[in-house]
Every structure is written in C-alpha cells, then in structure tokens.
Amino acid sequence: MGAITPLGADVEASWSAMLAGASGVTALEEEWAERLTVGVAAGLPVDPASLMSRVEARKLDRCEQIAMIGSREAWRDAGSPEVAPERLAVVLGTGTGGVLSTLGQDDLFEESGGRRLSPYAVPMLMPNGPAAWVSMELGARGGARTPVSACASGAEALAMGLDLIRAGRADVVVAGGVEACLHPFTLAAFAQMKALSPRTEEPAAVSRPFDVDRSGFVMAEGAGVVVLERADFARARGARVHGALAGASVTSSAHHITASDADGQIVAIEDALRSAGLAPGDLDHVHAHATSTESGDLAEAEAVRRAVGDHVAVTATKSMTGHMLGASGAVAAIAALLTLREGRLPAVRNLDDPDPAVGLDVVRGENRAGDWRAGLVNAFGFGGHNVSLVLTGSRG
C-alpha cells in the first residue's frame, strides 16, 4: 500500500490521522481565492516536488509527482516483487489528469507565446501520464492503463487490476488513483454547480457526511496505490499480505450526468458481492463514498440498505480527507484494508446530528473496534459511474 493524502505523506501518517479524527481541510489563503465562492480545500501537507529530485519534478505534473510517490511506497511495501516485465501491469485512474499543467501552460502561452512552453507540456497534461511514468520506472510491460471515470477512477483501477489477474494476463498489478486539481478554475467550476460547500468558518468542520447540516463536499488532492498479486504468486514468494480484493464491479447508471442513482449503485454492490462469492450478510462494514452532499449521501444510504441491509457499520473518511476525486476510491480501499488488518473502523468526523433518513449504523464519536472480516468500498462518479469493491482480511 502507498498513499499521500491531506492527512499525511504516507500510509502510516494518513491512517494514524484518520484514527485520531484529524482533518486535512484548511482555509484557502491564496490571493486568487478572494474571487471564489468557496474558501476551503484539502491540500497535501508536503510539497510532492520536495520528495523527489528537482530534475524529475520539473518533468512531471503535480498529479504525476503524487502518483510516483504513492507507487514507490506501495512497491517498497510489497517488497519490490521480482516478476517478469510482461506479467507486470500498471492501472492508475484519474478524474482530471494533468489539469494544472493544462491551465498553467495555457496561461504561459497567452502571456509569452508558444516558445516558452515546457517541452514536457504534453506528457504533463495527458491523463495517462501517471500510469506511463510508473510503468517506465518499474519496467512494467503488461500494460499501462488509465480509467477516467470521475470520482470512481481509483476504485475502477483496482477492479481492472483484479480483472487482469483473474483473466491470467498479469501476476502483479500496481493499481490506484491520483488527483491534483486544486486551482481557481476547477474550484469555481465545481462551486458553480453547487457541489462544494460555501462555508468558510471552521474549515475542519465543513466536510460532514451523513450530517443534517452538510452543505457540499470539500475538494482535495492525493493518491492511493496498492500492489495486487495473484494469490499463489504472493504465497510462492512469501509476500506479506494485507488482505484480499475478493470481488469488484463496475457499472453505469445511464441516468443523469451528475445526479446519484441508488438503483445503479445497487447493481454494482450486488454484482461485487457475487464476484466475491459472498452474501450480503457476510459483510460487516462499509467504507462509504459519502461526499457530504445531501442527494449523494441519501442515494448511497438507500443503496446500501436495499443491497446489503442495515446490519453493517459505516464509515466515511472524506469527513477528514475531503474529496480526492479520482483518488478517493483507492484511498478508501487502503483504509478498508487497514480496518481489516487492525480491527479498527474510523469514526466519521463532524457527525454531530445524524440525518435520520440515512437509516444506517454510521460510526460516530469513537473508532469502533471489532473482528472485521469483509468490507465494502463504494466509489461513484459524475456520468453515472458506479464501482463497488469487496475486501476481506488476510486471515480469510
């Protein structure tokens, strides 16, 4: 596992902060923020460029830098497995790709003309850049793929990795999601569609999934990456196994370009359970997509009640990290793995007045200890993209 999030520069720091109920949301203090109707975001606690050489950083968009950092941590954590290049694949999803480079290089062009553009402008802006750079670093020749499905991208990458392994096309897949799009244009665009919370007071209290006082999500950046392996390959090399991606499903609601749809989400959840060979009663917890919008939270809650039941415990870590868009599903999968491994389910921050319409056992106040065996991770994106993952502990 590897991650860089608003809560920490690696998995351990991010997980410790989740368990502590910390928040990565801060006030926007840049001069350009005065023109916006939103005043908070969740940026990284460290400049990713400072974690690599200056020469390397200049070639990469911020999302590519973040992807490299998360992938390197995951590869180290996996023990740098020896695998034939043709049996190693990379799947890294993103919602916006190198949008910061796109906007920045366009500004430079308008101001100074084409001769001032970076010779790396195209590799920096292309959405497949993160997967391409990671594949070159690892020598992966089994494919470098980039699902682009808005906020479901990172989770879809894990589902695609599972498909590659089950189809016998790879032994090891580096899979995850990345996003870096904190920019006045993107913030203004999301704010114009009323998706972001307009609140500015108490930044750490703005993201509040499942709370009656929620008012929209907080945009964030980050990356989450896992190393998936065929089970017998991992056993043969004596790998340390954190858990299993037991099943996954990718569906589309074909309903609305931005609105959530419980019916489509139910199909994804039920199909993921079939993929894992589990029944709804086998699940004991859910890492919800839960962005802190009323329509999104309630649609997902309905989907979970109808597809799984109300016996599961539910967490929503976006209450602490903000919404990392294309990275969010992969980071949630890492949190789910850690819950299974360590037996602790993080409490939802800012859940002061739970919405009774949710009708689920949402964890609040204190983290919940338990012998967690199987968890569901949901990720849903604009365009009607639905992804559900089922993870089980290494004990199973």
CB under 8 Å to 122, separation ≥6 — which residues?
Answer: none
Q: From the centroid of its chain, how far is CA 59? A: 24
Query: What pLDDT score was predicted for residue 229?
Result: 98
Nearest in space to 14 (alpha carbons), one of 241, 331, 323, 325: 331
| 256: annotated active-site residue | no
> Percentage of the chain surpassing pLDDT 90?
99
| 181: annotated active-site residue | no
Query: What pLDDT score was predicted for residue 228?
Result: 98
- Which residue among 183, 285, 287, 323 is the active-site one? 323
Query: What pLDDT score was predicted for residue 88?
Result: 98
The H or E element containing residue 78 is none
The percent helix, strand, coil of the chain (3-state, each to 5) is 40, 20, 40
Question: pLDDT, tens digit, for every residue of 122-143?
Answer: 999 999 999 999 999 999 999 9
Nearest in space to 347 (alpha carbons), one of 22, 61, 99: 22
What is the torsional sign of CA 245, 250, 253, 259? positive
β-partners of residue 3 are 224
- Which residue among 183, 287, 289, 385 is the active-site one? 289
Instruction: Determine which of 243-247, 371-375, 390-394 has the lowest per-residue pLDDT on average.
Output: 390-394
Q: What is the mean pLDDT of residues 38-43?
A: 98
CB under 8 Å to 204, separation ≥6 — which residues?
Answer: 23, 25, 349, 350
Are the C-beta atoms of residues 181 and 221 closer than 8 Å to each other?
A: yes
Are the C-beta atoms of residues 36 and 73 closer than 8 Å to each other?
A: no
**Maximum C-alpha span of the chain:** 62
Query: What pLDDT score was predicted for residue 396?
Result: 41
Q: What is the mean pLDDT of residues 300-323?
A: 98
Question: pLDDT, tens digit, for every residue of 74-109?
Answer: 999 999 999 999 999 999 999 999 999 999 999 999
What is the bridge-based pairing of β-strands 368-369 and 344-345? antiparallel
Query: What pLDDT score was predicted for residue 212?
Result: 98
| 151: annotated active-site residue | yes
In whole angstroms, give the CA distance from residue 62 to residue 67.
Answer: 9
Query: What pLDDT score was predicted for residue 394?
Result: 73
* For residue 3, pLDDT beyond 70: yes
* For residue 161, pLDDT beyond 70: yes
- Which residue among 63, 151, 242, 385 is the active-site one? 151
Are the C-beta atoms of residues 136 and 123 closer than 8 Å to each other?
A: no
Question: pLDDT, tens digit, for every residue of 321-372?
Answer: 999 999 999 999 999 999 999 999 999 999 999 999 999 999 999 999 999 9
CA dist 379 to 65, 104, 153, 316, 352, Å? Answer: 23, 29, 8, 11, 24
* For residue 206, pLDDT beyond 70: yes
Mean pLDDT for the chain overall: 97
In whole angstroms, give the CA distance from residue 263 to residue 118.
Answer: 46
Query: What pLDDT score was predicted for residue 231?
Result: 96
pTM exceeds 0.85 for this model: yes
Which structure tokens are listed for 101? 């480079």
In whole angstroms, give the CA distance from residue 388 to residue 15.
Answer: 21
In whole angstroms, give the CA distance from residue 19 to residue 12.
Answer: 11
Torsion, Cα of 141, 147, 153, 157 (10° steps): -30
Which structure tokens are listed for 269? 């959840």
In whole angstroms, give the CA distance from residue 351 to residue 8.
Answer: 22
> Percentage of the chain surpassing pLDDT 70?
99
β-partners of residue 91 are 145, 175
